[in-house]
Structure 1
Protein backbone atom coordinates (compact mmCIF):
# COMPACT_ATOMS: atom_id res chain seq x y z
CA UNK A 1 0.00 0.00 0.00
CA UNK A 2 0.99 3.58 -0.62
CA UNK A 3 -0.09 5.99 2.09
CA UNK A 4 -0.66 9.58 0.95
CA UNK A 5 -0.82 11.71 4.07
CA UNK A 6 -0.74 15.41 4.84
CA UNK A 7 -0.79 16.91 8.31
CA UNK A 8 -1.34 20.47 9.46
CA UNK A 9 -1.32 22.36 12.72
CA UNK A 10 -4.78 23.42 13.81
CA UNK A 11 -5.90 26.01 16.34
CA UNK A 12 -8.34 23.87 18.28
CA UNK A 13 -9.95 20.46 18.19
CA UNK A 14 -13.40 21.89 18.97
CA UNK A 15 -13.35 24.30 16.00
CA UNK A 16 -12.16 21.58 13.61
CA UNK A 17 -14.77 19.10 14.89
CA UNK A 18 -17.49 21.65 14.00
CA UNK A 19 -16.02 22.18 10.53
CA UNK A 20 -15.80 18.43 9.91
CA UNK A 21 -19.39 17.95 11.08
CA UNK A 22 -20.59 20.78 8.81
CA UNK A 23 -18.76 19.17 5.89
CA UNK A 24 -20.53 15.85 6.55
CA UNK A 25 -17.55 13.89 7.87
CA UNK A 26 -18.51 11.08 10.22
CA UNK A 27 -16.79 10.34 13.53
CA UNK A 28 -15.68 6.75 13.30
CA UNK A 29 -13.57 5.90 16.36
CA UNK A 30 -11.36 7.32 19.07
CA UNK A 31 -8.26 5.58 20.33
CA UNK A 32 -5.07 5.99 22.28
CA UNK A 33 -1.93 5.05 20.35
CA UNK A 34 1.52 4.34 21.70
CA UNK A 35 4.25 4.09 19.06
CA UNK A 36 7.72 2.76 19.89
CA UNK A 37 10.17 3.76 17.16
CA UNK A 38 13.42 1.94 16.44
CA UNK A 39 16.78 2.72 14.85
CA UNK A 40 18.28 0.12 12.53
CA UNK A 41 21.77 -1.33 13.06
CA UNK A 42 22.24 -1.35 9.27
CA UNK A 43 20.60 1.80 7.89
CA UNK A 44 20.26 5.29 9.36
CA UNK A 45 16.49 5.77 9.14
CA UNK A 46 16.93 9.52 9.73
CA UNK A 47 19.00 9.67 6.52
CA UNK A 48 16.86 7.29 4.44
CA UNK A 49 13.58 8.76 5.74
CA UNK A 50 12.24 5.35 6.77
CA UNK A 51 10.56 4.28 10.00
CA UNK A 52 10.01 1.07 11.95
CA UNK A 53 7.62 1.07 14.88
CA UNK A 54 5.48 -1.03 17.16
CA UNK A 55 2.04 0.55 17.62
CA UNK A 56 -0.23 -0.40 20.49
CA UNK A 57 -3.82 0.85 20.37
CA UNK A 58 -6.85 0.21 22.58
CA UNK A 59 -7.43 -3.17 20.92
CA UNK A 60 -4.52 -4.06 18.62
CA UNK A 61 -0.75 -4.25 18.28
CA UNK A 62 1.06 -3.76 14.94
CA UNK A 63 4.55 -3.66 13.52
CA UNK A 64 4.75 -0.99 10.83
CA UNK A 65 7.48 -0.23 8.30
CA UNK A 66 7.26 3.09 6.45
CA UNK A 67 9.43 3.58 3.39
CA UNK A 68 11.10 6.79 2.23
CA UNK A 69 8.89 9.68 1.18
CA UNK A 70 8.08 9.56 -2.54
CA UNK A 71 7.51 13.26 -3.18
CA UNK A 72 8.25 16.68 -1.70
CA UNK A 73 4.81 18.00 -0.71
CA UNK A 74 3.27 15.21 1.36
CA UNK A 75 4.20 12.18 3.38
CA UNK A 76 3.57 9.78 0.51
CA UNK A 77 5.28 6.49 1.22
CA UNK A 78 5.01 2.73 1.12
CA UNK A 79 3.57 1.30 4.32
CA UNK A 80 3.67 -2.33 5.38
CA UNK A 81 1.84 -3.28 8.56
CA UNK A 82 1.04 -6.53 10.32
CA UNK A 83 -0.75 -7.52 13.51
CA UNK A 84 1.23 -9.11 16.32
CA UNK A 85 0.29 -10.54 19.70
CA UNK A 86 2.86 -8.87 21.99
CA UNK A 87 4.59 -5.49 21.81
CA UNK A 88 7.03 -6.60 24.52
CA UNK A 89 8.10 -9.72 22.64
CA UNK A 90 8.48 -7.83 19.35
CA UNK A 91 10.57 -5.15 21.11
CA UNK A 92 12.74 -7.88 22.64
CA UNK A 93 13.28 -9.51 19.22
CA UNK A 94 14.16 -6.16 17.62
CA UNK A 95 16.66 -5.36 20.37
CA UNK A 96 18.24 -8.84 20.24
CA UNK A 97 19.01 -8.38 16.54
CA UNK A 98 20.50 -4.93 17.01
CA UNK A 99 17.63 -2.47 16.68
CA UNK A 100 17.59 0.28 19.33
CA UNK A 101 14.53 2.00 20.75
CA UNK A 102 14.60 5.68 19.76
CA UNK A 103 11.50 7.16 21.36
CA UNK A 104 7.91 6.49 22.30
CA UNK A 105 5.21 8.75 20.87
CA UNK A 106 1.81 8.78 22.59
CA UNK A 107 -1.34 10.32 21.21
CA UNK A 108 -5.10 10.36 21.47
CA UNK A 109 -6.58 10.22 17.98
CA UNK A 110 -10.15 10.96 16.91
CA UNK A 111 -10.91 9.46 13.47
CA UNK A 112 -13.37 10.76 10.90
CA UNK A 113 -14.33 9.41 7.50
CA UNK A 114 -15.30 11.54 4.54
CA UNK A 115 -15.61 10.12 1.02
CA UNK A 116 -12.35 8.17 0.49
CA UNK A 117 -10.42 10.13 3.13
CA UNK A 118 -9.42 9.10 6.63
CA UNK A 119 -9.14 12.20 8.81
CA UNK A 120 -7.67 12.27 12.28
CA UNK A 121 -7.45 14.90 14.98
CA UNK A 122 -4.26 14.17 16.90
CA UNK A 123 -3.52 15.18 20.47
CA UNK A 124 0.15 14.19 20.68
CA UNK A 125 1.88 14.40 24.07
CA UNK A 126 4.27 17.36 23.87
CA UNK A 127 2.88 18.93 20.65
CA UNK A 128 0.18 21.36 19.62
CA UNK A 129 -3.04 20.07 17.97
CA UNK A 130 -2.70 18.51 14.52
CA UNK A 131 -5.01 17.13 11.88
CA UNK A 132 -4.00 14.49 9.35
CA UNK A 133 -5.81 13.61 6.15
CA UNK A 134 -4.87 10.35 4.46
CA UNK A 135 -5.73 8.22 1.46
CA UNK A 136 -4.40 4.68 1.04
CA UNK A 137 -3.68 3.52 -2.51
CA UNK A 138 -2.68 0.26 -4.10
CA UNK A 139 0.87 0.26 -5.49
CA UNK A 140 1.03 1.95 -8.88
CA UNK A 141 -1.94 4.27 -8.42
CA UNK A 142 -1.44 7.98 -9.05
CA UNK A 143 -0.57 9.51 -5.71
CA UNK A 144 -0.25 13.02 -7.16
CA UNK A 145 -4.04 13.13 -7.72
CA UNK A 146 -4.62 11.81 -4.20
CA UNK A 147 -2.31 14.46 -2.76
CA UNK A 148 -4.10 17.19 -4.72
CA UNK A 149 -7.48 16.04 -3.41
CA UNK A 150 -6.15 16.09 0.18
CA UNK A 151 -5.00 19.69 -0.15
CA UNK A 152 -8.39 20.58 -1.67
CA UNK A 153 -10.12 19.06 1.36
CA UNK A 154 -7.88 21.03 3.72
CA UNK A 155 -8.88 24.17 1.83
CA UNK A 156 -12.60 23.29 2.22
CA UNK A 157 -11.91 23.06 5.94
CA UNK A 158 -10.28 26.51 5.95
CA UNK A 159 -6.69 25.34 6.29
CA UNK A 160 -4.24 26.80 3.79
CA UNK A 161 -1.05 26.89 5.90
CA UNK A 162 0.67 25.14 8.79
CA UNK A 163 1.36 21.99 6.79
CA UNK A 164 4.00 19.68 8.24
CA UNK A 165 5.81 17.01 6.28
CA UNK A 166 7.83 15.63 9.17
CA UNK A 167 6.61 12.87 11.46
CA UNK A 168 5.49 13.36 15.05
CA UNK A 169 8.68 11.55 16.06
CA UNK A 170 10.80 14.12 14.17
CA UNK A 171 8.79 17.02 15.59
CA UNK A 172 9.33 15.78 19.14
CA UNK A 173 13.03 15.09 18.50
CA UNK A 174 13.49 18.69 17.27
CA UNK A 175 11.93 20.41 20.33
Structure 2
Protein backbone atom coordinates (compact mmCIF):
# COMPACT_ATOMS: atom_id res chain seq x y z
CA UNK A 1 0.00 0.00 0.00
CA UNK A 2 1.30 3.45 -0.88
CA UNK A 3 0.25 7.04 -0.34
CA UNK A 4 2.75 8.29 -2.91
CA UNK A 5 5.36 8.40 -0.11
CA UNK A 6 4.07 11.70 1.25
CA UNK A 7 3.72 13.23 -2.20
CA UNK A 8 0.57 14.70 -3.65
CA UNK A 9 -0.91 14.49 -7.11
CA UNK A 10 -1.36 17.90 -8.74
CA UNK A 11 -3.33 17.87 -11.97
CA UNK A 12 -5.58 19.78 -14.30
CA UNK A 13 -7.61 18.39 -17.17
CA UNK A 14 -9.05 20.17 -20.17
CA UNK A 15 -11.62 19.30 -22.79
CA UNK A 16 -10.35 18.55 -26.30
CA UNK A 17 -12.32 19.65 -29.34
CA UNK A 18 -11.29 16.58 -31.36
CA UNK A 19 -10.15 13.03 -30.65
CA UNK A 20 -6.69 14.15 -29.51
CA UNK A 21 -4.91 13.33 -32.78
CA UNK A 22 -3.62 16.86 -33.35
CA UNK A 23 -2.35 17.16 -29.77
CA UNK A 24 -0.65 13.76 -30.01
CA UNK A 25 1.17 14.91 -33.13
CA UNK A 26 2.20 18.15 -31.45
CA UNK A 27 3.53 16.31 -28.41
CA UNK A 28 5.64 14.06 -30.63
CA UNK A 29 7.02 17.04 -32.53
CA UNK A 30 8.03 18.68 -29.24
CA UNK A 31 9.93 15.59 -28.10
CA UNK A 32 7.37 13.97 -25.84
CA UNK A 33 7.32 10.18 -25.92
CA UNK A 34 3.98 8.39 -25.83
CA UNK A 35 3.56 5.07 -24.08
CA UNK A 36 1.47 2.30 -25.57
CA UNK A 37 -2.23 3.23 -25.30
CA UNK A 38 -3.91 1.45 -22.41
CA UNK A 39 -7.56 0.69 -21.80
CA UNK A 40 -8.58 1.27 -18.19
CA UNK A 41 -11.84 0.32 -16.53
CA UNK A 42 -12.58 2.07 -13.24
CA UNK A 43 -15.39 0.97 -10.94
CA UNK A 44 -16.40 3.75 -8.54
CA UNK A 45 -18.04 3.36 -5.15
CA UNK A 46 -19.56 5.54 -2.44
CA UNK A 47 -20.34 4.97 1.20
CA UNK A 48 -24.00 4.30 2.05
CA UNK A 49 -24.03 7.17 4.56
CA UNK A 50 -21.87 9.66 2.63
CA UNK A 51 -22.42 10.72 -0.98
CA UNK A 52 -18.96 10.76 -2.59
CA UNK A 53 -20.43 12.72 -5.49
CA UNK A 54 -21.11 15.56 -3.06
CA UNK A 55 -17.85 15.32 -1.12
CA UNK A 56 -15.87 14.63 -4.32
CA UNK A 57 -14.16 11.66 -2.73
CA UNK A 58 -12.83 8.86 -4.88
CA UNK A 59 -12.96 5.15 -4.11
CA UNK A 60 -12.32 3.00 -7.14
CA UNK A 61 -11.09 -0.34 -8.39
CA UNK A 62 -8.97 0.05 -11.54
CA UNK A 63 -8.25 -2.62 -14.14
CA UNK A 64 -5.60 -2.19 -16.85
CA UNK A 65 -4.32 -5.27 -18.65
CA UNK A 66 -2.62 -7.44 -16.02
CA UNK A 67 -2.61 -4.55 -13.51
CA UNK A 68 -5.23 -3.82 -10.85
CA UNK A 69 -5.41 -1.54 -7.81
CA UNK A 70 -7.78 0.04 -5.31
CA UNK A 71 -7.46 3.82 -4.93
CA UNK A 72 -8.84 6.32 -2.43
CA UNK A 73 -8.68 10.12 -2.65
CA UNK A 74 -10.06 12.29 0.18
CA UNK A 75 -12.83 14.90 -0.07
CA UNK A 76 -12.32 18.09 -2.00
CA UNK A 77 -11.88 21.33 -0.08
CA UNK A 78 -10.80 24.87 -0.82
CA UNK A 79 -7.25 23.66 -0.14
CA UNK A 80 -7.36 20.82 -2.68
CA UNK A 81 -9.17 22.68 -5.50
CA UNK A 82 -7.92 26.07 -6.65
CA UNK A 83 -10.00 28.65 -8.48
CA UNK A 84 -8.21 27.82 -11.74
CA UNK A 85 -9.22 24.12 -11.70
CA UNK A 86 -5.90 22.77 -10.41
CA UNK A 87 -6.47 19.77 -8.14
CA UNK A 88 -3.92 18.79 -5.49
CA UNK A 89 -4.70 15.69 -3.42
CA UNK A 90 -2.92 12.88 -1.60
CA UNK A 91 -3.67 9.47 -3.04
CA UNK A 92 -3.65 6.06 -1.37
CA UNK A 93 -3.18 3.05 -3.64
CA UNK A 94 -3.42 -0.63 -2.81
CA UNK A 95 -1.84 -2.64 -5.62
CA UNK A 96 -3.40 -6.04 -6.18
CA UNK A 97 -1.24 -9.06 -6.90
CA UNK A 98 -3.18 -10.00 -10.03
CA UNK A 99 -5.79 -8.44 -12.28
CA UNK A 100 -8.13 -11.27 -11.36
CA UNK A 101 -8.25 -9.91 -7.81
CA UNK A 102 -10.10 -6.81 -9.03
CA UNK A 103 -13.33 -8.80 -9.01
CA UNK A 104 -12.60 -9.85 -5.43
CA UNK A 105 -11.98 -6.22 -4.50
CA UNK A 106 -15.37 -5.30 -6.00
CA UNK A 107 -16.97 -8.12 -4.04
CA UNK A 108 -15.31 -7.00 -0.81
CA UNK A 109 -16.40 -3.36 -1.17
CA UNK A 110 -19.97 -4.37 -1.92
CA UNK A 111 -19.95 -6.86 0.97
CA UNK A 112 -19.11 -4.13 3.48
CA UNK A 113 -21.90 -1.94 2.14
CA UNK A 114 -20.18 0.30 -0.36
CA UNK A 115 -22.55 1.55 -3.05
CA UNK A 116 -21.68 1.08 -6.73
CA UNK A 117 -21.81 4.40 -8.60
CA UNK A 118 -20.61 3.82 -12.15
CA UNK A 119 -18.04 2.09 -14.33
CA UNK A 120 -15.86 4.31 -16.49
CA UNK A 121 -13.92 2.98 -19.46
CA UNK A 122 -11.25 5.02 -21.17
CA UNK A 123 -8.32 4.65 -23.53
CA UNK A 124 -5.33 6.48 -22.08
CA UNK A 125 -2.04 7.46 -23.74
CA UNK A 126 0.55 8.91 -21.37
CA UNK A 127 3.41 11.13 -22.59
CA UNK A 128 6.69 11.96 -20.85
CA UNK A 129 9.69 14.15 -21.67
CA UNK A 130 13.31 13.85 -20.53
CA UNK A 131 13.44 17.61 -19.88
CA UNK A 132 10.27 17.53 -17.78
CA UNK A 133 10.89 14.91 -15.08
CA UNK A 134 7.86 14.15 -12.97
CA UNK A 135 5.44 15.61 -15.50
CA UNK A 136 2.95 13.39 -17.33
CA UNK A 137 0.64 14.58 -20.10
CA UNK A 138 -2.20 12.19 -20.80
CA UNK A 139 -4.72 12.05 -23.61
CA UNK A 140 -7.89 10.27 -22.51
CA UNK A 141 -10.74 9.04 -24.68
CA UNK A 142 -13.55 8.43 -22.20
CA UNK A 143 -16.54 6.37 -23.28
CA UNK A 144 -19.66 8.45 -22.78
CA UNK A 145 -17.79 11.68 -21.97
CA UNK A 146 -15.38 12.64 -24.79
CA UNK A 147 -11.69 13.45 -25.19
CA UNK A 148 -9.51 15.19 -22.61
CA UNK A 149 -5.92 16.15 -21.90
CA UNK A 150 -4.64 15.91 -18.34
CA UNK A 151 -1.38 17.42 -17.11
CA UNK A 152 -0.17 15.81 -13.89
CA UNK A 153 2.76 16.33 -11.54
CA UNK A 154 3.49 14.23 -8.44
CA UNK A 155 5.52 16.14 -5.88
CA UNK A 156 5.93 17.01 -2.21
CA UNK A 157 5.74 20.71 -3.13
CA UNK A 158 2.23 21.67 -4.28
CA UNK A 159 3.26 25.17 -5.39
CA UNK A 160 6.15 23.93 -7.51
CA UNK A 161 3.94 21.23 -9.00
CA UNK A 162 1.23 23.74 -9.86
CA UNK A 163 3.79 25.95 -11.56
CA UNK A 164 5.03 22.96 -13.56
CA UNK A 165 1.49 22.16 -14.68
CA UNK A 166 0.93 25.74 -15.83
CA UNK A 167 4.28 25.96 -17.62
CA UNK A 168 3.70 22.67 -19.43
CA UNK A 169 0.25 23.76 -20.58
CA UNK A 170 1.69 27.00 -21.96
CA UNK A 171 4.45 25.17 -23.84
CA UNK A 172 1.91 22.79 -25.35
CA UNK A 173 -0.45 25.66 -26.20
CA UNK A 174 -3.37 24.04 -24.42
CA UNK A 175 -3.81 26.67 -21.69
CA UNK A 176 -6.79 28.18 -23.53
CA UNK A 177 -8.74 24.93 -23.71
CA UNK A 178 -11.72 24.80 -21.34
CA UNK A 179 -10.78 23.36 -17.93
CA UNK A 180 -12.84 20.50 -16.51
CA UNK A 181 -13.46 20.39 -12.77
CA UNK A 182 -15.61 17.26 -12.61
CA UNK A 183 -14.05 13.78 -12.38
CA UNK A 184 -14.67 11.39 -15.28
CA UNK A 185 -16.95 9.49 -12.91
CA UNK A 186 -19.28 12.48 -12.62
CA UNK A 187 -19.15 13.32 -16.33
CA UNK A 188 -20.12 9.80 -17.36
CA UNK A 189 -22.86 9.64 -14.72
CA UNK A 190 -24.29 12.98 -15.82
CA UNK A 191 -24.26 12.09 -19.50
CA UNK A 192 -25.81 8.69 -18.80
CA UNK A 193 -28.60 10.23 -16.71
CA UNK A 194 -29.31 12.86 -19.37
CA UNK A 195 -29.45 10.20 -22.08
CA UNK A 196 -31.99 8.23 -20.03
CA UNK A 197 -34.15 11.24 -19.16
CA UNK A 198 -37.31 11.99 -21.14
CA UNK A 199 -36.60 14.58 -23.91
CA UNK A 200 -38.57 17.31 -22.17
CA UNK A 201 -36.61 16.91 -18.93
CA UNK A 202 -33.05 16.83 -20.29
CA UNK A 203 -30.68 19.55 -19.22
CA UNK A 204 -30.27 22.39 -21.70
CA UNK A 205 -26.99 23.54 -20.20
Quick check: TM above 0.5? yes
Residue number in structure 1 paired with 2:121: 106
Q: Does the Cα contact within 8 Å between 1:64 and 1:82 map onto a contact in 2?
A: yes
Give 3-state SS (helix, strand or coil) of 1:11's partner.
Answer: coil
**Structure 1: gaps of 5 or more residues:** none
Alignment RMSD: 1.4
1:150 paired with 2:168, answer: no
- CA offsets per residue over residues 42-67 of structure 1, 9 Å max, x none? 43212322110000001201000012
Change (3 A) 1:161 1:14: closer
TM-score, normalised via structure 1 length: 0.92
Of Structure 1 and Structure 2, the greater strand share is in: 1
Alignment of 1:156-167 (within 5 A): 156-159=171-174, 160-167=176-183
* 1:110-149 → structure 2 map (5 Å cutoff): 110-114=125-129, 115=132, 116-137=134-155, 141-149=156-164
Report what 2:46 is aligned to.
39
Shift of 1:19: 1.2
Q: What's the CA shift string for 1:135-163, capped at 9, x where partnerless?
A: 112xxx32122112212211221112311
Q: Which runs of 4+ in 1 moved over 2 A?
A: 41-44
| Superposition TM-score, scaled by structure 2 size | 0.79
**Aligned positions of 1:43-54 closer than 5 A:** 43-54=50-61
Q: Does the 8 Å contact 1:29/1:112 carry over to 2? A: no
Query: Are 1:58 and 2:74 matched, yes or no?
Result: no
Query: How far 1:76 sits from its partner (Å)?
Result: 1.3
CA distance in structure 2 between the aligned counterparts of 1:29 and 1:91, rounded to whole angstroms: 27
| Contact kept in structure 2, 1:112 and 1:118, CA below 8 Å | yes
- 1:68–1:78 contact (8 Å) kept in structure 2: no
**C-alpha contact (below 8 Å) 1:37/1:53 kept by paired residues:** yes
